[in-house]
Amino acid sequence: MVQMPLRRDGSFLLLGRDPRVDGPPTPDAPVPDWIQADPRRIRRALERARSQNGGGWFVLGATRSLREKPQKFTVVGRDLVAWMGPDGPRVAPDACPHMGASLSCGGRVDADGHILCPWHGLPLGARKHGVWAPLLAHDDGVLTWVRLDAELAPGESPTASPILPPRPSNFLDAVIRVEARCAPEDVLANRLDPWHGAHFHPHSFGRLHVVGEDDDSITVRVIYRIGGRLGMEVDARFHCPDPRTIVMTIVGGEGVGSVVETHATPIDEGRTAVIEATLATSERLPSLSKAPAFVRDLVAQRAARLWGEDAEYCERTYALRKQRQDRRLLRVLDATEELDAE
């Protein structure tokens, strides 16, 4: 039986280690959240994140899901198929080089790790076949990534493998995937605004204070609600290791070293896949990684609930930005017509 300290704090009953013991003090008179959530502050943090090199890598999804059957993914408008080969995940264009069949739609994987085209059985694997060529893939142990050299952003240069944030050595992982009508920058901006947490997700978060900030990260002290007034207070640091990822790391309280990686993969113009991996660790629960599947499902359900709401937030910021861009374009067109008429 795991024993955890319990303390009363205002209206909350807090379980587990107090992050104040080894961490920074909580501000006495915090500035209201709506003032702290300064759009210019969030924009500056976003610009710093987006100026980093992502090496051309994009997260596709949980590696675990590829073990079941080939999967289809669309990244920057390109349809891809991913499947599990003998030496790890393989990713390639989702169109057979013979007559164009979708490989993800009925393709089977043979004993040698080839994907067999569902129309006429052409085996395709690690080798190029005509115009069809596999892409560079990477399995980081939880997620599968693909490198798309044709999609490098200005200033981005290819790297041999994705830029991975530090992870705990022993963890329970849960991966969710949500799609939203927005751009990857909206996903990062959502997480760079921690101040919305207790207001927009009151079922999951209690009190929240910023307890540290520098050019590359922001650290908040936040109460995760377990249920009702019962919660757990932790210090969580947010940073962006690449232009399409934001990572939350628990740095104080219970579960130090646990991470939540939020990856934003562009599907197409105005559509983004959010792939979020929670890697939970605990000194008190050394066998957490062997927890039954339902524990992973519970973690995933909680993350999916938050993303159901955060997708709305991201879609709203994207729609507002588009409206502003459209209005600006209309003004430019009007000015051009006036000049032509003179």
Q: In the stretch 86-105, what mask flags binding to ligand FES with x, by CB under 6 A?
A: ----------x-xx-x----
Q: Which residues pair with 142 in a beta bridge?
A: none
Residue 302 beta carbon to Fe ion: minimum distance, rounded to whole angstroms: 12
Q: Does 120 bind ligand FES (CB under 6 A)?
A: yes
Q: Does 119 bind ligand FES (CB under 6 A)?
A: yes
For residue 195, the surrounding DSSP H or E stretch is: none
Structural contact between residues 148 and 137, judged by C-beta atoms closer than 8 angstroms: no
Residue 130 beta carbon to ligand FES: minimum distance, rounded to whole angstroms: 11
Q: Which does 310 bind (CB under 5 to 8 A by kind): ligand FES, Fe ion, none?
A: Fe ion
Decide whether 118 or 165 has the Cβ nearer to ligand FES: 118
Q: Which does 117 bind (CB under 5 to 8 A by kind): Fe ion, ligand FES, none?
A: ligand FES
Neighbouring C-alpha atoms within 13 Å toward the C-beta of 329: 6
Stretch that binds ligand FES, among 115-123, 180-188, 214-222, 270-278 (CB under 6 A): 115-123
Extended strands (E) in the chain: 6-9, 12-15, 57-62, 71-75, 78-85, 88-93, 108-109, 115-116, 123-124, 136-139, 143-147, 172-180, 205-213, 217-227, 230-242, 245-252, 259-268, 271-280
Q: Which does 119 bind (CB under 5 to 8 A by kind): Fe ion, ligand FES, none?
A: ligand FES
Q: Does 335 bind ligand FES (CB under 6 A)?
A: no
Structural contact between residues 80 and 55, judged by C-beta atoms closer than 8 angstroms: no
Distances (CA, A) of 73 to 130, 178, 265: 22, 13, 10
Decide whether 119 or 200 has the Cβ nearer to ligand FES: 119
Q: For binding to ligand FES (CB under 6 A), which residues are involved?
A: 96, 98-99, 101, 117, 119-120, 122
